[in-house]
């Protein structure tokens, strides 16, 4: 068993979190992850209203007795959501673990902390991580450039971000972006992280609510099959490289560039949702990270988490036994 600050704080068995994913973080997947020993997270904005989120929380509770969380992401949206309403509804439904992400989370974090909740906050820079720590979050999710969705604008890979987190942070942190297997978990622990967050890997599980065709696209895809859109709008997002995403980037790069209004119809979440529902991978924009290159199957959440745990333990054990060459060994050789 890999016992860390994360497993202790969240009351979970394996230090693996299924991060918020728009249109994917639904009760069946969340409960499957929590039942398998990780932390499942419901995505608040996937629900059309705070009331619908209440129902989703109740539905999840029927499927698992284990802890799960709720994600609230604060990023530009076409229809501004009632963030506070979602937050209140989840707290009233006795959710005690929240994942926050995006811009200006201070008010939300303050509310959750005033209600005695545990907050994981996603950060793509050390500056933001330190600021979130000062706001009182319990765990930072360090999100490297490899991640699906919004990696920030600094293009900092996970290796350096995690090593910087080890230097700078005095609260627990987990590694997010580019992680899909036990090797990733072992590496994250070596970087001083107390666990990992995975998104794309969980999209491609038996219990994931997306269409089989999209799961097959992820299995067939490589680390080269994602693309950054919204670069020019400073709202960069890593998505699956399909016809729609390539058209968005073409419009952004044309002389004079593109305003959001020029892209709105192509990028709307409602269209992306159709891809997940119908299996038409060109129906709209859908999110995927470069971890896609590591994904070769569609296991159940239990099979996946068991495998990650076992592989990480084997790797950590192997490293512990490794006789690292010192100067004398090198001279003998
Ligand atoms: P949406 O239909 O409102 O917008 C589609 C995309 O356009 C999103 O990436 C959004 O950030 C971007 N966008 C919207 N208005 C913009 C503007 N004025 N300028 C620049 N970019 C703009 O999005 P949705 O699919 O309904 O999702 C709702 C929100 O949740 C979005 O902010 C989205 O980024 C975010 N999200 C959350 C998660 C998560 O893990 N919780 C994952 C993906 C996206």
pLDDT of residue 333: 46
pLDDT of residue 323: 75
Query: Which run of H or of E encompasses 17?
Result: strand 16-18
**Interatomic CA distance for residues 60 and 49, integer angstroms:** 17
Which 8-state DSSP code applies to residue 287?
B
Whether ligand 1 lies within 6 angstroms of the CB of 235 is answered as yes
Whether ligand 1 lies within 6 angstroms of the CB of 64 is answered as no
Pick the closest to residue 297 from 198, 239, 218, 223 (CA basis). 218
Which of helix, strand or coil describes residue 113?
Answer: helix
Whether ligand 1 lies within 6 angstroms of the CB of 43 is answered as yes
Tokens at 160, concatenated: 């350096």
Dihedral (CA of 28, 198, 66, 45) sign = negative
Using most ligand atoms within 8 A of CB, pick from 19, 42, 77, 148 the residue to mutate for ligand 1.
77
Residue 134 C-alpha to ligand 1 middle, in angstroms? 27
Q: Above pLDDT 90, what percent of the chain?
A: 96
Name the segment(s) of the chain with CATH classification 3.20.20.70: 5-208+298-310
Side-chain-side CA neighbours of 294 within 13 Å: the count stands at: 20
pLDDT of residue 63: 98
**Interatomic CA distance for residues 70 and 68, integer angstroms:** 7
Residue 98 C-alpha to ligand 1 middle, in angstroms? 19
Whether ligand 1 lies within 6 angstroms of the CB of 259 is answered as no
Query: Higher model confidence: residue 314 or residue 323?
Result: 314
pLDDT tier, 328 (very low <50, low <70, confident <90, very high otherwise): low
Whether ligand 1 lies within 6 angstroms of the CB of 73 is answered as yes
Mean of the per-residue pLDDT values for the chain? 96
pLDDT tier, 326 (very low <50, low <70, confident <90, very high otherwise): low
Residue 260 C-alpha to ligand 1 middle, in angstroms? 11
Contact 40, 60 (CB under 8 A): yes
Whether ligand 1 lies within 6 angstroms of the CB of 23 is answered as no
pLDDT tier, 327 (very low <50, low <70, confident <90, very high otherwise): low
> pLDDT for 197-232, tens place per residue?
999 999 999 999 999 999 999 999 999 999 999 999
Say which CATH topology domain 5-208+298-310 has: TIM Barrel (3.20.20)
On the question of pLDDT at 289 being above 50, the answer is yes
Q: Above pLDDT 70, what percent of the chain?
A: 97
On the question of pLDDT at 309 being above 90, the answer is yes
Q: In whole angstroms, how far apart are CA 172 and each of 37, 121, 169?
A: 19, 11, 8
**What proportions of the chain, in percent to the nearest 5, are helix, strand and coil?**
45, 15, 40
Whether ligand 1 lies within 6 angstroms of the CB of 45 is answered as yes
Residue 118 C-alpha to ligand 1 middle, in angstroms? 25
Residue 269 C-alpha to ligand 1 middle, in angstroms? 7
Q: Burial letters for 16-40: b for 16+ Cβ neighbours within 10 Å, e otherwise?
A: bbbbbbbbbbbbebbbbbbbbbbbb
Cβ neighbours, 10 Å, residue 239: 24
Cβ neighbors of 276 (< 8 A, separation 6 or more) are: 23, 24, 209, 210, 211, 214, 286
Whether ligand 1 lies within 6 angstroms of the CB of 11 is answered as no
Bridge partners of residue 198, in order along the sequence: 18
> pLDDT for 135-176, tens place per residue?
999 999 999 999 999 999 999 999 999 999 999 999 999 999
Using most ligand atoms within 8 A of CB, pick from 49, 73, 75 the residue to mutate for ligand 1.
75
> pLDDT for 96-126, tens place per residue?
999 999 999 999 999 999 999 999 999 999 9
Whether ligand 1 lies within 6 angstroms of the CB of 287 is answered as yes
Question: Tell me, what's the ipTM?
Answer: 0.92
On the question of pLDDT at 303 being above 90, the answer is yes
Which atom in ligand 1 lies closest to the alpha carbon of residue 72? 41
pLDDT of residue 235: 97
Which atom in ligand 1 lies closest to the alpha carbon of residue 264? 7
> pLDDT for 60-95, tens place per residue?
999 999 999 999 999 999 999 999 999 999 999 999
**Interatomic CA distance for residues 41 and 294, integer angstroms:** 22
On the question of pLDDT at 329 being above 80, the answer is no
On the question of pLDDT at 332 being above 60, the answer is no
Whether ligand 1 lies within 6 angstroms of the CB of 149 is answered as yes
Pick the closest to residue 101 from 51, 147, 158 (CA basis). 147
Cβ neighbours, 10 Å, residue 196: 31
pLDDT of residue 330: 47
Which atom in ligand 1 lies closest to the alpha carbon of residue 44? 41
């Amino acid at each position: 068993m890999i016992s860390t600050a994360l497993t202790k704080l969240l009351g979970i068995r394996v230090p693996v979190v299924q991060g918020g994913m728009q249109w994917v973080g639904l009760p069946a997947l969340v409960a499957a992850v929590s039942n398998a020993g990780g932390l499942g997270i419901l995505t608040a904005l996937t629900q059309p209203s705070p009331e619908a989120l209440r129902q989703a929380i109740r539905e999840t509770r029927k499927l698992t007795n284990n802890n799960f969380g709720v994600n609230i992401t604060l990023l530009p949206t076409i229809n501004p959501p009632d963030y506070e309403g979602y937050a209140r509804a989840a707290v009233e439904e006795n959710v005690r673990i929240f994942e926050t992400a995006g811009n200006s989370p201070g008010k939300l974090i303050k509310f959750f902390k005033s209600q005695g909740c545990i907050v994981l906050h996603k950060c793509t820079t050390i500056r933001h991580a330190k600021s979130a720590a000062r706001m009182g979050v319990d765990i930072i999710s360090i999100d490297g450039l490899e991640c699906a969705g919004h990696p920030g604008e600094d293009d900092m890979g996970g290796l350096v971000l995690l090593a910087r987190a080890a230097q700078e942070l005095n609260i627990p942190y987990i590694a997010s972006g580019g992680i899909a297997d036990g090797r990733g978990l072992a590496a994250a622990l070596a970087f001083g992280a107390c666990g990992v967050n995975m998104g794309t890997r969980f999209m491609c599980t038996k219990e994931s609510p997306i269409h089989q065709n999209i799961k097959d696209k992820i299995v067939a895809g490589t680390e080269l099959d994602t693309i950054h859109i919204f670069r020019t709008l400073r709202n960069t997002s890593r998505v699956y490289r399909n016809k729609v995403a390539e058209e968005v980037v073409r419009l952004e790069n044309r002389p004079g560039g593109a305003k959001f209004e020029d892209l709105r119809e192509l990028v709307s979440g409602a269209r992306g949702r159709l891809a997940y529902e119908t299996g038409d991978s060109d129906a709209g924009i859908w999110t995927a990270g470069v971890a896609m290159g590591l994904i070769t199957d569609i296991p159940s959440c239990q099979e996946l988490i068991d495998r990650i745990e076992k592989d990480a333990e084997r790797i950590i054990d192997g490293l512990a036994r490794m006789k690292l060459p010192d100067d004398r060994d090198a001279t003998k050789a």
